[in-house]
């Protein structure tokens, strides 16, 4: 865990406080840790989002790509059609 060196005071209405306190008790966590988690979800670190994007990309099913010769021929045909249009 990162060093916690900054203090934040936030005023909440009773409804929000009750929801946070109830959830904290259910999860066996502190209200402060829930607030930190909510901040992380709402405003993710740029490095985290890049890492998460890479993870999701690599987890995707492989795409069936034709052999290079076939793909090259398709691209050349498409290009020839575009040029002659």
How many CB atoms are closer than 10 A to CB 25?
10
Ranges of residues in the chain with a pLDDT under 50 are none
Domain ranges of the chain: 14-84
CB 84 within 8 A of CB 76: no
Report the pLDDT value the prediction gives residue 20, as an integer from 0 to 100. 97
pTM score > 0.75 for this model? no
Can you tell me the distance from the alpha carbon of 10 to that of 35, in angstroms, rounded to the nearest whole number? 10
Report the pLDDT value the prediction gives residue 65, as an integer from 0 to 100. 87
Q: Which residue has the tokens 């402060």?
A: 32
Report the pLDDT value the prediction gives residue 1, as an integer from 0 to 100. 58
For the range 31-39, what are the long-range contacts, defined as Cβ-Cβ under 8 Å and sequence gap of 24 or more?
A: 35/10
Report the pLDDT value the prediction gives residue 29, as an integer from 0 to 100. 95
Report the pLDDT value the prediction gives residue 28, as an integer from 0 to 100. 96
């Amino acid at each position: 865990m990162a060093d916690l060196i900054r203090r934040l005071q936030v005023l909440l209405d009773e409804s929000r406080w009750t929801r946070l306190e109830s959830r904290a008790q259910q999860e066996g966590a502190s209200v402060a840790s829930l607030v930190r988690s909510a901040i992380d979800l709402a405003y993710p670190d740029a490095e985290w989002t890049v890492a998460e994007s890479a993870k999701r990309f690599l987890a995707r099913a492989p795409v069936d790509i034709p052999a290079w010769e076939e793909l090259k021929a398709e691209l050349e045909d498409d290009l020839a059609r575009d040029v002659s249009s």
